[in-house]
Amino acid sequence: MSITSALNSALTGISATSRQAEAISSNVANATTPGYARRSVSLSALSLGGQGQGVRVVGITRHSDLYLINDRRSAQAAAGDSAVRAGFLSRLENILGDTEAAGSLVSRVHALDQALLEAASRPESEARLSAAVTAARALAEGLNFASDAIQAERLRADQNIASAVERLNTGLKQVQELNSVIASYSFSGRETAALMDQRQQIIDGIAAIVPLKEIPREGNQIALVTTGGAVLLDSSAVEIGFTAVHTIVPEMTIGSGGLYGLTINGKPMATTGPASLIQGGELGALFAVRDGLAVEGQALLDTMARDLIERFGDPAVDPSLATGEPGLFTDGGLAFDPALETGLASRIRLNAAPDPLQGGDLSRLRDGIGATGPGPAGNNTLLTALSGALNQSRSTGSALMPGSRTLPGLAADILSRVSSHRISADTEQSFTSARYAALGDLESAAGVNIDEEMQALLVIEKNFAANAKVIQAVDEMIRTLLGL
């Protein structure tokens, strides 16, 4: 080997160790950076004309475990799904109110029961009749409030769907652009690790919205497919379409045309049920809230409203009622039509006849809603019948709440049903969050190890010093030659 070859080899060694030191410094600096993957410098022997000429840098290798990343993203989507569901069920439980909380549906039912009993004991007392009417009005208003709150939750979910779709489309377009740049850099031999880190961060954001898998493609490009099988990105990104609404009432559904689902490149796609391709992430959970969980919550309230109207609207309870006339509670002031049960909780009202606030007379609560004139002030027959109707077991006729119950029992069972679902959702959220955290820790452990990087740095330092020593020796040899 000539002196020149020795010098060139040492210089290539200096260059290679410098690149290695640069990669290690980047690893150490980004040890906790989300989306960052450890780098290493790939080296190979450099030869020219069959003679060794040192070492050359082949490229920068980015180390990542795609299988682990896909599992972590799946867990991330599941955690987002369970968080949305558990959050809604917790708010729904608060809307209904705890059994001991003032203003809850259960406490309003008990207040009406107590007021009717007290009025029956002193039917001539206007104060007690007024208290009973006030309690009845408060119960109807409680159902109105709960129904309005549930529709507000549906509207909130609808708006969050629009936001999630916008973030999803933006993320997919960014990944498409980075795919193109990374492919261009790869074919030209330029380093792509930093761009791939940026792409991974964007995909991680998308994975919280919909569960997806990353599939490698030529030129370090990737494709994105939901776990349900919908292709989101392959060469080009799809366009997810959604139209938000400004208000939601109980009767509005996708089936009725009042609400909108998703489209992919203009074609409708299922958002709920086994045919849905987006279940398991934030977006799927938001549709489940808007079109499933909240609709069920409204149906429970409508069941209670119907039971309330029918209990006190039975002519056997109040003989003053003619066929088809509303009783103590009405559907917006009219008689209840069983074909129009949806949204009944938002429309239920206290009959105006016994309500002074609506121009009625308190005596009608004692004498009968349909009474043509005042009856005996001491007659408590109707008040006793109303109290008995409230505590009579009867079938609701609802598939959600089958069986016979008293009105207090129905209110308590509705709250118990929601609380049970909330507890199950909280348990699921704890599990999915723990799984996501565990896989995240596993991914971090497989990333940059500071101790290993420091050990490698010591080796690089020795290699750098050795190459520098070779250059120094060559320099002395050349000086010796020049001094001859």
88 domain-assigned: yes
- Stretch 221-229: mean pLDDT: 91
Is pLDDT above 90 for 31?
no
420 domain-assigned: yes
Distance CA(208)–CA(382), nearest Å, equals 59
- Stretch 194-214: mean pLDDT: 92
Is pLDDT above 90 for 49?
no
- Stretch 297-304: mean pLDDT: 96
- Stretch 199-208: mean pLDDT: 93
Is pLDDT above 70 for 181?
yes
> With contact defined as beta carbons under 8 Å apart, do 110 and 101 qualify?
no
Are residues 249 and 370 part of one domain? yes
What 3-state class would DSSP assign to 279?
Answer: coil
Q: What is the pLDDT of residue 105?
A: 93
Could you report the per-residue pLDDT of 356-374, keeping only the tens digit for each? 999 999 999 999 998 888 8
Written as one letter, the residue type at 10 is: A
Are residues 182 and 39 part of one domain? no
Residue numbers of the domain that contains 277: 70-436
274 domain-assigned: yes
Q: What is the pLDDT of residue 40?
A: 80
Higher pLDDT, 359 or 450: 359
Is pLDDT above 80 for 446?
no
442 domain-assigned: no
Please give the angle made by the CA atoms of 331, 333 and 334, to the nearest 5 degrees.
65
Minimum mean pLDDT range among 11-20, 54-63, 312-321, 437-446: 54-63
Are residues 342 and 203 part of one domain? yes
Higher pLDDT, 250 or 470: 250
Are residues 274 and 176 part of one domain? yes
Query: Which of 339, 351, 343 is CA-nearest to residue 302?
Result: 343
Domain count along the chain: 2
Are residues 342 and 425 part of one domain? yes
Are residues 454 and 396 part of one domain? no
Instruction: Please tell me the total number of residues recorded for the chain in this structure.
Output: 484
Are residues 91 and 12 part of one domain? no
Query: Which of 423, 424, 391, 384 is CA-nearest to residue 410?
Result: 391
Using pLDDT thresholds of 50, 70 and 90, give the confidence band for residue 125.
Answer: very high
- Stretch 407-426: mean pLDDT: 94
- Stretch 459-472: mean pLDDT: 84
Are residues 10 and 121 part of one domain? no
Are residues 458 and 379 part of one domain? no
Alpha-helical runs (H) found in 188-293? 193-207, 282-288
Are residues 430 and 312 part of one domain? yes
Is pLDDT above 80 for 440?
yes
Are residues 50 and 119 part of one domain? no
Are residues 344 and 203 part of one domain? yes
